[in-house]
Amino acid sequence: MHPKDSTIPNIMTDLQRAVRTALEEDIGDGDITAQLIPADRSARARVITREDCTLSGRAWVEEIFRQLDPDLQLTWHFTDGDRVSANSVIFELEGNARTILTGERTALNFLQTLSGTATTAAEFAARATGTEVKILDTRKTIPGLRSAQKYAVLCGGCHNHRIGLYDAFLIKENHIAAAGGIDKAVAQARTIKPEALVEVEVETLEELQQALDSGADVIMLDEFNDADTRSALDMAKGRARIEISGSVDRERIAQLAELEVDYISSGSLTKHLRAVDLSLRIEF
């Protein structure tokens, strides 16, 4: 998989900007430690994972070394979305030693973070295997890495919720209160951006009925128990899609998927990730 093949808007522009910012904050006015190495010295290096993971972030690594030195050669042994076993060589580099060492930390930061996101997503997706439910991410992403983490979620086999505040409506408690009710909020949303999906978050079956009557496309059940979720599914059948949110972790996924809801969303996909343990080994 490649970011260009995703449906995430502006991802390549975001990628280049994120890499440029990351390099600037790390290098500043120059890598003084790299200057210990002769400027013309060449080297080879291997990046190895110390643990099983699902890979994501190749394009970010490639952009880092493209911005530093387009002549550096990268050889990949896996592609994004692949399951990689511990102690495997993910990719190799060959070229200027200073460039390799200057880009090492930034490259590993992106790769370990995005692979950590993809690995978490793959674990969630596996728990819904054999069902029709789609596991969705949220906007609870690392600032500045929204599109990158959304892409990593796709690499892990899960799906994207709205990308930001601009591409779909998600009408919550405060919006409802400010607009004067669910029906008024949905009606106004239809006039603001008629082509956009309208989703309403509800906390009770009474609010669910109001959301159904308003014509919402998707209704998010916040902290519903299983009995109320089953009632909600009966009420919504053929009228709106149902999303489960709130207190969703790995252990709860399989149980919720059996209820045959349309979507399960979890901020854990992007905010509770643990970076994958990677290592770069260089040879002169």
Q: Give residue-wise pLDDT tens across range 56-85.
A: 999 999 999 999 999 999 999 999 999 999
pLDDT bucket at 4, cuts 50 / 70 / 90: confident
Do both 152 and 171 map to the same domain?
yes
Do both 8 and 68 map to the same domain?
yes
Is 217 an active-site residue? no
pLDDT bucket at 257, cuts 50 / 70 / 90: confident
- Residue 92 contacts by C-beta under 8 Å, 6 or more apart in sequence? 44, 45, 46, 47, 74, 75, 77
Do both 143 and 262 map to the same domain?
yes
Do both 185 and 238 map to the same domain?
yes
Of residues 17, 105, 184, 239, which has the active-site annotation?
Answer: 105
Q: What is the largest CA-CA distance in the chain?
A: 72
Do both 134 and 263 map to the same domain?
yes
Calculate mean pLDDT across residues 228-241: 94
Do both 176 and 212 map to the same domain?
yes
In the chain, the number of structural domains is: 2
Do both 99 and 199 map to the same domain?
no
Do both 84 and 141 map to the same domain?
no
CATH number at residue 22: 3.90.1170.20
Do both 173 and 242 map to the same domain?
yes
Of residues 44, 172, 230, 250, which has the active-site annotation?
Answer: 172
Of residues 51, 62, 94, 222, which has the active-site annotation?
Answer: 222
pLDDT bucket at 271, cuts 50 / 70 / 90: very high
If DSSP codes are grouped into helix, strand and coil, which group holds residue 159?
strand
Of residues 80, 82, 199, 201, which has the active-site annotation?
Answer: 201
Of residues 139, 140, 252, 271, which has the active-site annotation?
Answer: 140
CATH number at residue 210: 3.20.20.70
Do both 136 and 217 map to the same domain?
yes
Is 172 an active-site residue? yes
Do both 140 and 225 map to the same domain?
yes
Contact 149, 141 (CB under 8 A): yes
* Cβ-based burial of 165 (10 A; exposed 0-12, middle 13-18, buried ≥19): exposed
Is 150 an active-site residue? no
240-254 pLDDT per residue, tens: 999 998 777 777 788
How many residues comprise the chain?
Answer: 284
Range of the domain at 62: 3-125+273-283
Pairwise pLDDT comparison (257 vs 101), residue with the higher score? 101
Calculate mean pLDDT across residues 212-234: 94
Per-residue pLDDT at 256: 82
